[in-house]
């Protein structure tokens, strides 16, 4: 089964995307894989499978590899006398901007390239944490109380300390701070605003349990991963999350009641349906005093959350065979012909 992994992108999570792609190379040994790297200048390169190593990118060796152009139906490698079309279905593995904000989805849709990943509308609601809050409210899913701040608008925060300050449109804990008292706030805001002009402020919840659940739609049914209770310290910083993105060993099922399992899956389904078809996503939930709250949606989770599935290759194959079909507009120019005919032209 052919699959092209598209990774890189011009975002703060560029390197994490590379780590994810290298990890999936190891996990998808039964697939016929090709690798397309998007550098920070939005140039596409065809990467040899044997060269899928960190040093290829850190030392700029990828620049010696074939450049690709995007065209209707796939990516094109131009030669002196002929061209080669790479038209396998694409797995969008670009984290953060470009990959998760809808840019790549729009590009692939425009050129009629089949792909695994969030579509444009799903990207909009999952990439920006403010819009995720709106989605939760619209779909009856609880989320943590929050306030929104803009770099150009200064106002007091009403949430009691300690609080969490994070950029509205960034993942991997980049720019995120735990603020225990007001004297630490300015530094935290400066850190967050360095990456985004909009910031989310939430209360730091004590005694919270966290659970991660991934899933996808195939054959008109949502297929769930196991539920993980991540073993985290008080705060999982960028460096720890960076290592987390290279995970490939399966984790253990969380020891939770059937009732809580049902609640988590029900909330996942409310978020996923009629929005994320064609994508494998991971939802991170908080549980406080028996109540389930969505913390965030990972529309392109690190290494595609492979470690949460009993058989990741089979899961990806099922998704690959159940991608949504795009209904294309039929253009026949009847309207123009009728006008021309009426005018005698």
SS3 per-residue string spanning 174-196: CCCEEECCHHHHHHHHHHHHCCC
User: Cα separation of 236 and 302, whole Å?
Assistant: 14
- Token pair recorded at residue 240: 């720890």
301 contacts 139 by C-beta, under 8 angstroms: no
User: Cα separation of 35 and 30, whole Å?
Assistant: 15
For the chain, 345 residues long, give each residue's pLDDT as a single digit of tens.
Answer: 899 999 999 998 999 999 999 999 999 999 999 999 999 999 999 999 999 999 999 999 999 999 999 999 999 999 888 899 999 999 999 999 999 999 999 999 999 999 999 999 999 999 999 999 999 999 999 999 999 988 887 778 889 999 999 998 876 677 888 999 888 998 999 889 988 889 999 999 888 999 999 999 999 999 999 999 987 654 445 455 545 555 667 788 999 999 999 999 999 999 999 999 999 999 999 999 899 999 999 999 999 999 999 999 999 999 999 999 888 888 888 888 787 777 665
Peptide bond into 162 cis (omega under 30): yes
- Model pLDDT, residue 234: 45
- The domain 123-142+206-320 is classified under which CATH number: 1.10.10.10, 3.40.50.720, 3.30.470.20, 2.60.120.10? 3.30.470.20
User: Cα separation of 224 and 49, whole Å?
Assistant: 30
- Model pLDDT, residue 238: 47
What is the torsion angle, in degrees rounded to the nearest 10, for the CA atoms of residue 191, residue 195, residue 198 and residue 204? Answer: -50
CATH topology identical between 2-116 and 147-203: no
User: Cα separation of 285 and 291, whole Å?
Assistant: 10
- Model pLDDT, residue 172: 61
Q: Give the CATH fold of the 2-116 domain.
A: Rossmann fold (3.40.50)
User: Cα separation of 186 and 182, whole Å?
Assistant: 8
Domain spans in the chain, listed from the N-terminal domain onward:
2-116, 123-142+206-320, 147-203
- Model pLDDT, residue 239: 52
- Model pLDDT, residue 45: 98
- Model pLDDT, residue 205: 87
Does 147-203 carry CATH code 3.30.1490.20?
yes
- Model pLDDT, residue 235: 47
- Model pLDDT, residue 22: 96
pTM higher than 0.85, yes or no?
Answer: yes
**In whole angstroms, how large is the CA radius of gyration of the chain?**
22
Backbone angles phi, psi at 24, to 5 degrees: -65, -30
């Amino acid at each position: 089964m052919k699959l092209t992994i598209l990774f890189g992108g011009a975002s703060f999570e560029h390197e994490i995307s590379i780590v994810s792609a290298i990890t999936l190379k190891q996990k998808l040994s039964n697939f016929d894989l090709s690798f397309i790297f998007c550098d920070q200048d939005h140039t596409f390169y065809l990467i040899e499978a044997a060269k899928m190593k960190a040093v290829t990118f850190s030392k700029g060796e990828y620049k010696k590899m074939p450049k690709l152009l995007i065209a209707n139906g796939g990516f094109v490698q131009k030669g002196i006398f002929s061209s080669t079309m790479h038209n396998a279905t694409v797995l969008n593995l670009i984290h953060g901007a470009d990959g998760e904000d809808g840019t790549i989805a729009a590009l692939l849709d425009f050129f009629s390239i089949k792909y695994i990943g969030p579509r444009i509308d799903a990207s909009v609601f999952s990439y920006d944490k403010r819009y995720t809050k709106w989605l939760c409210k619209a779909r009856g899913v609880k989320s943590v109380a929050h306030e929104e701040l803009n770099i150009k608008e200064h106002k007091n925060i009403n949430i009691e300390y300690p609080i969490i300050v994070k950029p509205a449109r960034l993942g991997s804990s980049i720019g995120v701070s735990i603020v225990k008292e007001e004297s630490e706030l300015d530094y935290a805001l400066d850190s967050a605003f360095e990456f985004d002009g909009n910031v989310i402020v939430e209360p730091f919840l004590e005694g919270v349990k966290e659970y991660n659940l991934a899933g996808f739609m195939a054959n008109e049914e949502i297929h769930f991963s196991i539920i993980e209770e991540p073993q985290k310290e008080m705060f999982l910083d960028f460096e720890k999350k960076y290592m987390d993105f290279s995970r490939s060993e399966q984790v253990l099922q969380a020891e939770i009641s059937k009732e809580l399992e049902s609640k988590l899956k029900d909330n996942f389904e409310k978020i996923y349906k009629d929005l994320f078809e064609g994508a494998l996503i991971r939802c991170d939930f908080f549980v406080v005093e028996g109540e389930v709250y969505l913390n965030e949606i990972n529309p392109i989770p690190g290494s595609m959350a492979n470690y949460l599935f009993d058989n990741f290759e089979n899961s990806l194959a099922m998704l690959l065979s159940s991608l949504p079909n795009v209904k294309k507009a039929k253009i026949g120019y009847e309207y123009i012909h009728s006008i021309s005919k009426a005018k005698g032209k």
